[in-house]
Amino acid sequence: MTEWYKIAFGELYPLVYPHRDVAEAAKVAARLTPLVASARPTLDVACGNGRYMSALAAGGADVYGVDLSEYLLAEAVKQGLRGRVVCGDIRALPFATGVFGSAINMFTSFGYFETDDDNAGVLREIARVIRPQGAFVLDFINAARIRRTMTPRSRRVAGDAQVEESRELSAQGRVLTKRVRVEWRGRDPVEYTERLRLYARDELTAMLEGADFHVRDVHGDYQLGPFAADASERLIFVCERRGPVA
């Protein structure tokens, strides 16, 4: 079976997540730049269409990106991407050990794999390619808020398509599945189910520490305000790679 993320992050992605655009990334990147720009180069892990890469580069960062979606990487290049991209899997980053000064993983590009060990493996890979003392920013969703505010079903028009989304939580509330159905005029409908492991703050902290990161700060929104378990929309970790100075 084709993994859901290979379907979801193709041409359907801009229809399903239209609000996650370049303008949003530019605002957020202004706050990220001081955290990563001096630790060169920076790797955007699961960079998608490169919206964060271009925004960070505009602020003076030297940026590389890696993503599995050939479609989104081609979009990145078409849109005049600033930085260099590689097509690859975040479970086995196609880079040598210690070549990056910093890394980011933005907009819930984590928790996609079936096992906790596979998800933790992504953090271990990021730690492998960053030098000691390097910065890493992980931008995840706040699971507690999702559990409280989730809309089970929604339907909207997106361009010349109708997008229907049905959301469900697993029995222990640890896995969020979202069935997406896109109906186009004159084309066959497409359907897939996203699967996201909803890690809580403590779980992610333990995973980051286990991957040799020290968690410096935890924020709850893109303004980098404090995290509040019940209310915050995001769960953003600012970390430092442990290890001796080279």
Which stretches of the chain bind ligand SAM, using CB under 6 A?
5, 9, 20, 46-48, 51-52, 67-69, 72, 89-90, 106-109, 112
Helices (H), the chain: 4-8, 13-16, 22-36, 51-58, 70-78, 116-129, 143-149, 201-210
Give the nearer residue to ligand SAM in terms of CB position, either 37 or 72: 72
Q: How far is the CB of 171 from ligand SAM (least distance, A)?
A: 25
What residue type is assigned to position 20 of the chain?
Answer: R
Nearest approach in angstroms of CB 112 to ligand SAM is 5
Hey, is 3 helix, strand or coil? coil
d(CA 149, CA 156): 18
Residue nearest to ligand SAM (CB): 48
Q: Determine the angle formed by the axes of helices 116-129 and 201-210, rounding to 10 degrees.
A: 50
For ligand SAM, the closer of residues 146 and 209 by Cβ is: 146
Output 150 or 214, the one with its CB closest to ligand SAM: 150
Output 14 or 98, the one with its CB closest to ligand SAM. Answer: 14
Give the shortest CB-185-to-ligand SAM separation in angstroms: 26
Instruction: Rank residues 94 and 214 by Cβ distance to ligand SAM and give the closer one.
Output: 94
Q: What is the spatial distance between Cα 50 and Cα 113, in angstroms, rounded to a whole number?
A: 22
**CA proximity to 137, closest of 104, 160, 166:** 104
> 213 vs 38, 102, 160, 210, CA distance in Å?
18, 12, 45, 7
**Least Å from the CB of residue 33 to ligand SAM:** 16
Give the shortest CB-61-to-ligand SAM separation in angstroms. Answer: 15
Write out the DSSP string of 49-70.
TSHHHHHHHHTT--EEEEES-H
Nearer to ligand SAM, 121 or 132 (CB): 121
Query: Minimal distance in Å, beta carbon 56 to ligand SAM?
Result: 12
User: Distance between CA atoms of 175 and 184, rounded to whole angstroms?
Assistant: 29
